[in-house]
């Protein structure tokens, strides 16, 4: 790549790295994996940067690459997550924060139990704020598939959260 392309890529990377990393975290539930997945997406983008004619489609390309990387990682048996009873970091004991964090932790834990494709649709639709058409384009599938995966994903998420409420109150 020439210097102009490198500069454009660097500007795009600086503008989007945090958003891509957050999306990766919501998809996988682990900040270290999210860093790796975001790096994978940006490396793929860098390789194809010169060939991208429509810069407006760059976000969709990165999102699609990210979702595919998450799904590929989930298929590797040696990379599967192991559940533990002890959280790695302490939680602040202030009442308002503790309630919010518990809710957030419950949601993230439940999201991990949803199958990868359904999780990808839920994250793109409800955390990234994409509509059905944009999510379908990012995932390379039909809008009907996005709708059915959303319905199934929400049903699975509800089931996991209800089980958590019954178990832990």
**CATH 1.10.1740 residue spans of the chain:** 1-76
How much is the mean pLDDT over the chain?
84
Q: What percent of the chain has pLDDT over 70?
A: 83
- Residue 103 in this model has a pLDDT that exceeds 90: no
pLDDT digits (tens, 9 = 90+) for 16-63: 999 999 999 999 888 999 999 999 999 999 999 888 888 788 999 999
Percentage with pLDDT > 90 across the chain: 50
What is the distance between the alpha carbons of residues 21 and 140, in angstroms, rounded to a whole number?
Answer: 21
57-94 pLDDT tens trace: 899 999 999 999 988 877 776 555 566 777 666 555 55
Radius of gyration of the chain (CA): 18
How confident is residue 102, by pLDDT bands cut at 50, 70 and 90?
Answer: low
Is 83 or 125 the better-scoring residue by pLDDT? 125
- pLDDT classification of 13: cutoffs 50, 70, 90: very high
* Reported pTM: 0.54
More confident: 144 or 74:
144
pLDDT confidence tier of residue 165, bands split at 50, 70 and 90: low
- Max distance between CA atoms of the chain, in angstroms, equals 59
What is d(CA 72, CA 116) in angstroms, rounded to the nearest whole number? 9
Q: For residue 97, name the pLDDT band (cuts at 50, 70, 90).
A: very low
Domain with CATH 1.10.10.10 in the chain: 95-168
CATH architecture designation of domain 95-168:
Orthogonal Bundle (1.10)
If one looks up domain 1-76 in CATH, what number appears?
A: 1.10.1740
């Amino acid at each position: 790549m020439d210097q102009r392309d490198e500069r454009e890529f660097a500007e795009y990377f600086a503008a989007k790295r945090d958003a891509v990393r957050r999306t990766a975290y919501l998809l996988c539930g682990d900040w270290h994996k999210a860093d790796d997945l975001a790096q994978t997406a940006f490396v793929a983008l860098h390789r194809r940067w010169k060939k991208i004619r429509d810069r407006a489609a760059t976000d969709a390309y990165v999102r699609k690459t990210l979702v595919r990387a998450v799904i590929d990682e989930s298929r590797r048996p040696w990379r599967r997550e192991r559940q533990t009873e002890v959280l790695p970091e302490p939680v602040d004991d202030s009442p308002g924060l503790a309630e919010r964090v518990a809710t957030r932790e419950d949601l993230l834990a439940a999201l991990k139990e949803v199958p990868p494709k359904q999780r990808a649709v839920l994250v793109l639709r409800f955390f990234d704020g994409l509509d059905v058409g944009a999510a379908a384009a990012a995932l390379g599938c039909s809008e009907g598939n996005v709708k059915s995966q959303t319905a199934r994903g929400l049903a699975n998420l509800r089931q996991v959260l209800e089980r958590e409420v019954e178990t832990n109150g």
